[in-house]
Amino acid sequence: MLGRNGTVGKAIEVLDQVADHGRPVRFSELLDGSRFPKATLYRFLQSLVGQGMLAYDAERQTYMPGLRLVRLAHAAWQHSSLAPIARPHVDALAEVVREAVHLAQIDHGHVIFVDKRKKTNMFDTLAQTGLVAPSYCTGVGKAILAFLPEETRSEALKMQAFVPYTPHTHRSPRSLWPELDQIRDEGIAFDREEHEQGIISVAAPIIPDQRRVVGAISIATSTSRRSLDELKTLSPTLRETASRIAAEVQPWQFPN
Amino acid sequence: MLGRNGTVGKAIEVLDQVADHGRPVRFSELLDGSRFPKATLYRFLQSLVGQGMLAYDAERQTYMPGLRLVRLAHAAWQHSSLAPIARPHVDALAEVVREAVHLAQIDHGHVIFVDKRKKTNMFDTLAQTGLVAPSYCTGVGKAILAFLPEETRSEALKMQAFVPYTPHTHRSPRSLWPELDQIRDEGIAFDREEHEQGIISVAAPIIPDQRRVVGAISIATSTSRRSLDELKTLSPTLRETASRIAAEVQPWQFPN
DNA sequence: TGTTTGGTTCCATATAATGAAACCTAGTTT
DNA sequence: AAACTAGGTTTCATTATATGGAACCAAACA
């Protein structure tokens, strides 16, 4: 039962696989990317469909997330995500700064974008709500890493592959440490085109009432629109929004 | 594996139980409401925490939905829920009619509210997004039931307990059939204080391109604010909104 | 008509799950 | 201080469930 080779772990893996397709998916497509034998995968799919976690379209022979998962989703969203509480603050910040605003949480060393707001159609980042990103080369990721307890941070850094997405990306934990120290000092993190070429951001951690960091919020833009120095001038507004969100968060509500 | 006594079914039952608490919950509280022996429940919780579907707060010894579920949630929400597509239409309708607007889908005979908008703070119904309601005594439920294929409708009706929530509630499928016929004729359903005393609604099914019904939308209010006749005058607007949503829905995207 | 493809089922065997009982720690009561 | 209680955690002989290669099925294709 425990671990990825338990029955529960395997079922969740299948669930993830269907969800990751982002569209209805046929059995053979799932089989191609699966580590399970045909009969085993088939049985897991039948089981998840029977439980309502997946839905099966008999006409097109495709699988997709089911309404029981949608229902669970909602409960999870409301009680384990910053997004419901932070939404008005994220909206307000986006209105003021006229750039993309991201809200993220961390999960086993990876950043999960849980909300994103922008008020213009001119520009966008790759960040999509619900998506996972590395923590070592995103503003929100570094803002969170800097304020994690030492041991948790070490574990989180171990899980990073330090893929050099751009010439500016950190290549190792050792390279990153001095910057994390600086982030702790200033309470502000920057993404200097480290994750996406041409994309910069400024981020602040969300830390309720001297407790541990629960997430981070960032303002992201392109180098063609703004400079890093211009982003710096938005730091006070950003910190204030992060504080407001932190004030509303009840720390016991969130996982980590 | 198949059914509620398979390992997967049991794990999902535990997941549901934690999610249904809507707040961090301790092991003993879960044990109280569980059909599993102590060791079995404990092991399921450890397994789900290990997989990230649940999170465990060691300080308070409480469990809650985990970020992997939030992530899965998002995928499910975006690809298996009407809400993302329907949102602008629901907003627009709420703006026009100045009452609560509900969006719902059906799942094994039960209605799931997937979105809800209102532009006044004066009153509210019990409908909460993500919640499940019976189909036989809600406007959206009856709107969907009426347009389901015959066999699916029979199955769905069998799953209803026909609890008489108010004196106006249908007590049996037999009692409901003539009204479903009428709903099919008119393309409009009413909740005449059948689910909640004092609450009435008008609902229309969402049926893309001669295909099967995928959901329904309703306008709900209280008898102290509006009469049923007044709600009737909103039918054309409601039908139009339902048609607009249906036009955007790609029928293969949604589960049944 | 024979072959291919994708999906579905079978069942002897293997593996994981089971759950009563015991254990552990912290707090409470005597 | 000792005994007791409560909530959480672990053990392991036994049982139940999962496994997965092979076979089967239906539809489409050559």
Verify if strand D has an atom below 7 Å from the CB of B2.
yes
d(CA B195, CA B200): 9
Per-residue pLDDT of chain A (256 residues; tens, 9 = 90+): 777 788 999 999 999 999 988 888 999 999 998 999 999 999 999 999 999 899 888 878 889 888 888 888 878 877 777 888 888 899 899 989 988 899 998 877 778 888 887 765 544 554 556 677 889 999 999 999 999 988 888 888 888 889 999 999 999 999 999 999 999 999 999 999 999 999 999 999 999 876 788 899 999 999 998 999 999 999 999 999 999 999 988 654 554 3
- Please report residues of B whose CB lies closer than 8 A to that of A81: 67, 70
CATH 3.30.450.40 at B81-253, yes or no:
yes
The residues spanned by each domain of chain A are 7-72, 81-253
Longest dimension (CA), chain B: 59
Q: Which fold has domain B7-72?
A: Arc Repressor Mutant, subunit A (1.10.10)
Question: In 3D, which of A204, A188, A254 has the Cα closest to residue A89?
Answer: A204
Residues in A 13-72 whose C-beta is less than 7 A from nucleic strand D are 36-40, 43-44, 47
pLDDT of residue A119: 64
CB B98 within 8 A of CB B113: no
Burial of B131 (0-12, 13-18, 19+ CB in 10 A): middle
d(CA A195, CA A111): 12
- Please report residues of A whose CB lies closer than 8 A to that of B22: 75, 78-79
Token digits for A185?
A: 């000092």
pLDDT of residue B67: 84
Verify if strand C has an atom below 7 Å from the CB of B40.
yes
Lookup result for tokens 């981020």: A203
pLDDT of residue B125: 56
d(CA B247, CA B27): 47
pLDDT tens by residue, B190-241: 999 999 999 999 999 999 876 778 899 999 999 998 999 999 999 999 999 9
Chain A: closest CA distance from residue B242 (Å): 20
Closest-lying nucleotide for B39 based on CA to C1': C19
Which of the two residues, B129 and A73, has the higher pLDDT score?
Answer: A73
Helix (H) or strand (E) segment spanning residue A10: helix A7-21
Q: Report the complex ipTM.
A: 0.82
CA–C1' A116–C14 (A): 48
Smallest Cβ distance to A79: which of B7, B47, B65? B65
